[in-house]
Amino acid sequence: MTKILASYKLYICILSFLLSGCGLSPAPKPLAALPEACTDPGTVVRADLPEPTRGYPYSYRVYLPPCFSAESEFRYPVLYLIPGRGSGPDAWFAAGLVKIVDRLILSQEIPPLIVVTTENTNSDPLAETIYKELIPVVESQYPVVDDRRYRAVAGGSLGGIAAYRLAFQYPDMFSSAGIFGAGAISGEEKQIKAWKRQWKIELIETTNLDWDDLYERLGPA
Protein backbone atom coordinates (compact mmCIF):
# COMPACT_ATOMS: atom_id res chain seq x y z
CA MET A 1 0.00 0.00 0.00
CA THR A 2 2.86 2.39 0.74
CA LYS A 3 4.18 1.98 -2.78
CA ILE A 4 0.71 2.45 -4.27
CA LEU A 5 0.29 5.67 -2.27
CA ALA A 6 3.63 6.96 -3.50
CA SER A 7 2.71 6.02 -7.07
CA TYR A 8 -0.63 7.76 -6.66
CA LYS A 9 1.13 10.96 -5.64
CA LEU A 10 3.45 10.77 -8.62
CA TYR A 11 0.59 10.07 -11.01
CA ILE A 12 -1.54 12.97 -9.78
CA CYS A 13 1.47 15.28 -9.65
CA ILE A 14 2.38 14.62 -13.28
CA LEU A 15 -1.17 14.87 -14.62
CA SER A 16 -1.95 18.03 -12.61
CA PHE A 17 1.19 19.69 -13.92
CA LEU A 18 0.41 18.87 -17.54
CA LEU A 19 -3.28 19.75 -17.32
CA SER A 20 -2.67 23.10 -15.61
CA GLY A 21 0.24 24.32 -17.69
CA CYS A 22 0.81 22.60 -20.99
CA GLY A 23 -1.31 23.09 -24.05
CA LEU A 24 -2.84 26.45 -23.13
CA SER A 25 -1.07 28.27 -25.94
CA PRO A 26 1.90 27.65 -28.23
CA ALA A 27 5.33 27.25 -26.66
CA PRO A 28 8.16 29.58 -27.74
CA LYS A 29 9.72 26.67 -29.66
CA PRO A 30 8.13 23.44 -30.93
CA LEU A 31 7.33 20.96 -28.19
CA ALA A 32 8.87 17.53 -28.51
CA ALA A 33 6.46 14.77 -29.47
CA LEU A 34 6.69 11.01 -29.11
CA PRO A 35 8.20 9.65 -32.34
CA GLU A 36 6.13 7.15 -34.28
CA ALA A 37 6.67 3.53 -33.30
CA CYS A 38 8.68 4.55 -30.23
CA THR A 39 8.69 1.79 -27.63
CA ASP A 40 11.99 2.50 -25.88
CA PRO A 41 11.85 3.22 -22.14
CA GLY A 42 13.05 6.47 -20.67
CA THR A 43 16.55 6.81 -19.26
CA VAL A 44 17.93 8.24 -16.03
CA VAL A 45 21.07 10.38 -15.81
CA ARG A 46 22.92 10.66 -12.49
CA ALA A 47 24.70 13.97 -11.96
CA ASP A 48 26.12 16.35 -9.36
CA LEU A 49 26.30 20.11 -9.19
CA PRO A 50 29.87 21.12 -10.05
CA GLU A 51 30.48 23.49 -7.12
CA PRO A 52 27.48 23.77 -4.84
CA THR A 53 27.67 26.75 -2.47
CA ARG A 54 26.24 24.62 0.33
CA GLY A 55 29.75 23.21 0.83
CA TYR A 56 29.17 19.51 0.18
CA PRO A 57 28.16 17.41 -2.82
CA TYR A 58 24.71 17.93 -4.30
CA SER A 59 23.41 15.02 -6.32
CA TYR A 60 20.40 14.97 -8.65
CA ARG A 61 18.83 12.74 -11.30
CA VAL A 62 17.36 13.60 -14.69
CA TYR A 63 14.69 11.38 -16.24
CA LEU A 64 14.76 11.65 -20.03
CA PRO A 65 11.60 10.44 -21.79
CA PRO A 66 11.34 7.58 -24.30
CA CYS A 67 13.21 8.29 -27.57
CA PHE A 68 14.55 11.54 -26.13
CA SER A 69 16.00 13.93 -28.69
CA ALA A 70 18.39 16.75 -27.83
CA GLU A 71 17.86 18.48 -31.17
CA SER A 72 17.64 22.22 -30.58
CA GLU A 73 14.37 22.76 -32.44
CA PHE A 74 12.45 20.69 -29.89
CA ARG A 75 11.77 21.58 -26.27
CA TYR A 76 10.43 19.58 -23.33
CA PRO A 77 8.29 20.53 -20.31
CA VAL A 78 10.12 19.97 -17.02
CA LEU A 79 8.99 18.83 -13.58
CA TYR A 80 11.20 19.22 -10.50
CA LEU A 81 10.53 16.70 -7.70
CA ILE A 82 11.78 17.34 -4.14
CA PRO A 83 11.99 14.46 -1.62
CA GLY A 84 11.01 14.54 2.03
CA ARG A 85 13.21 15.02 5.08
CA GLY A 86 16.30 12.83 5.11
CA SER A 87 15.58 11.37 1.68
CA GLY A 88 17.32 11.92 -1.65
CA PRO A 89 16.88 12.04 -5.41
CA ASP A 90 16.57 8.25 -5.77
CA ALA A 91 13.46 8.11 -3.56
CA TRP A 92 11.15 8.96 -6.46
CA PHE A 93 12.56 6.13 -8.56
CA ALA A 94 12.03 3.68 -5.70
CA ALA A 95 8.37 4.75 -5.79
CA GLY A 96 8.14 3.79 -9.46
CA LEU A 97 8.73 7.07 -11.27
CA VAL A 98 10.22 5.57 -14.45
CA LYS A 99 7.50 2.95 -14.78
CA ILE A 100 4.70 5.49 -14.29
CA VAL A 101 6.04 8.21 -16.57
CA ASP A 102 7.08 5.75 -19.28
CA ARG A 103 3.60 4.27 -19.28
CA LEU A 104 1.88 7.66 -19.49
CA ILE A 105 4.12 8.85 -22.32
CA LEU A 106 4.13 5.65 -24.38
CA SER A 107 0.32 5.43 -24.12
CA GLN A 108 0.23 9.09 -25.24
CA GLU A 109 -1.77 10.14 -22.19
CA ILE A 110 0.80 12.88 -21.68
CA PRO A 111 3.45 14.44 -23.93
CA PRO A 112 7.14 13.66 -23.34
CA LEU A 113 8.65 15.60 -20.45
CA ILE A 114 11.87 15.80 -18.45
CA VAL A 115 11.75 15.08 -14.71
CA VAL A 116 14.48 16.27 -12.35
CA THR A 117 14.73 14.81 -8.84
CA THR A 118 16.63 16.82 -6.24
CA GLU A 119 18.31 16.47 -2.89
CA ASN A 120 16.24 17.15 0.25
CA THR A 121 15.86 20.63 1.68
CA ASN A 122 16.63 19.77 5.32
CA SER A 123 19.15 22.60 5.64
CA ASP A 124 17.78 24.73 2.79
CA PRO A 125 14.15 25.52 3.73
CA LEU A 126 13.63 28.05 0.93
CA ALA A 127 15.17 25.68 -1.65
CA GLU A 128 17.65 28.31 -2.75
CA THR A 129 20.07 25.71 -4.11
CA ILE A 130 17.37 24.38 -6.40
CA TYR A 131 16.36 27.81 -7.67
CA LYS A 132 19.76 29.50 -7.88
CA GLU A 133 22.02 26.59 -8.83
CA LEU A 134 20.25 23.43 -9.93
CA ILE A 135 17.69 24.90 -12.33
CA PRO A 136 20.21 27.03 -14.25
CA VAL A 137 22.55 24.04 -14.64
CA VAL A 138 19.84 21.64 -15.77
CA GLU A 139 18.22 24.05 -18.18
CA SER A 140 21.53 24.97 -19.76
CA GLN A 141 22.24 21.29 -20.49
CA TYR A 142 18.84 20.01 -21.61
CA PRO A 143 16.30 21.34 -24.15
CA VAL A 144 13.71 22.61 -21.67
CA VAL A 145 10.91 25.02 -22.60
CA ASP A 146 11.87 28.41 -21.14
CA ASP A 147 8.31 29.28 -20.19
CA ARG A 148 6.66 29.07 -16.76
CA ARG A 149 3.63 27.28 -18.25
CA TYR A 150 5.85 24.28 -18.97
CA ARG A 151 7.76 24.20 -15.65
CA ALA A 152 6.43 22.84 -12.36
CA VAL A 153 7.68 21.75 -8.95
CA ALA A 154 6.34 19.19 -6.49
CA GLY A 155 7.41 17.43 -3.34
CA GLY A 156 6.48 15.10 -0.53
CA SER A 157 6.46 16.04 3.14
CA LEU A 158 9.22 18.61 3.69
CA GLY A 159 9.74 18.63 -0.07
CA GLY A 160 6.12 19.70 -0.51
CA ILE A 161 6.73 22.70 1.73
CA ALA A 162 9.78 23.62 -0.37
CA ALA A 163 7.66 23.21 -3.51
CA TYR A 164 4.98 25.69 -2.46
CA ARG A 165 7.60 28.16 -1.25
CA LEU A 166 9.35 28.02 -4.62
CA ALA A 167 6.12 28.39 -6.58
CA PHE A 168 4.82 31.25 -4.44
CA GLN A 169 8.15 33.11 -4.37
CA TYR A 170 8.83 32.71 -8.08
CA PRO A 171 5.48 32.60 -9.92
CA ASP A 172 7.24 33.81 -13.06
CA MET A 173 9.16 30.51 -13.04
CA PHE A 174 6.53 27.88 -12.14
CA SER A 175 3.03 27.27 -13.47
CA SER A 176 2.05 24.84 -10.73
CA ALA A 177 3.15 23.09 -7.56
CA GLY A 178 2.25 19.71 -6.07
CA ILE A 179 2.22 19.37 -2.28
CA PHE A 180 1.90 15.84 -0.87
CA GLY A 181 1.88 14.77 2.76
CA ALA A 182 2.46 18.32 3.94
CA GLY A 183 0.64 21.55 4.64
CA ALA A 184 1.40 25.16 5.30
CA ILE A 185 3.96 25.79 8.01
CA SER A 186 2.40 27.38 11.09
CA GLY A 187 2.87 31.12 10.83
CA GLU A 188 2.93 31.21 7.02
CA GLU A 189 -0.83 31.21 6.49
CA LYS A 190 -1.09 34.99 6.11
CA GLN A 191 1.81 35.05 3.65
CA ILE A 192 0.24 32.27 1.57
CA LYS A 193 -3.10 34.09 1.45
CA ALA A 194 -1.27 37.22 0.32
CA TRP A 195 0.51 35.25 -2.41
CA LYS A 196 -2.81 33.75 -3.52
CA ARG A 197 -4.42 37.18 -3.81
CA GLN A 198 -1.40 38.69 -5.55
CA TRP A 199 -0.95 35.98 -8.16
CA LYS A 200 -4.53 34.63 -8.35
CA ILE A 201 -3.28 31.16 -7.44
CA GLU A 202 -5.73 28.26 -7.74
CA LEU A 203 -5.52 25.42 -5.23
CA ILE A 204 -6.74 22.01 -6.46
CA GLU A 205 -7.73 19.22 -4.07
CA THR A 206 -6.88 15.67 -5.22
CA THR A 207 -7.96 13.61 -2.22
CA ASN A 208 -11.22 12.09 -3.50
CA LEU A 209 -10.29 9.83 -6.37
CA ASP A 210 -11.39 6.47 -7.72
CA TRP A 211 -8.81 4.09 -6.19
CA ASP A 212 -9.88 1.17 -8.43
CA ASP A 213 -9.28 3.27 -11.53
CA LEU A 214 -5.97 4.48 -10.11
CA TYR A 215 -4.82 0.91 -9.36
CA GLU A 216 -5.79 -0.20 -12.86
CA ARG A 217 -3.75 2.60 -14.39
CA LEU A 218 -0.70 2.08 -12.19
CA GLY A 219 -0.69 -1.69 -12.07
CA PRO A 220 0.47 -3.82 -9.14
CA ALA A 221 3.08 -2.35 -6.80
- pLDDT (tens digit, 9 = 90+) per residue, 86-128? 899 999 998 889 998 999 899 998 889 999 999 999 989 899 9
H helix runs in the chain, sequence order = 2-21, 91-94, 97-106, 128-129, 135-141, 158-169, 189-199, 211-218
Residue 208 phi, psi (nearest 5): -100, 85
- Indicate the range of 2-6, 29-33, 98-102, 185-189 predicted with least confidence: 2-6
Amino acid of residue 26: P
pTM of the predicted model as reported, rounded to 2 decimal places: 0.81
Residue 4 phi, psi (nearest 5): -65, -40
For the domain bounded by 2-218, which CATH number is listed? 3.40.50.1820
CA distance 202 to 211: 24
pLDDT tens profile 30-42: 889 999 999 999 9
Contacts of 83 (CB under 8 A, 6+ apart): 89, 91, 92, 117, 118, 119, 120, 155, 156, 159
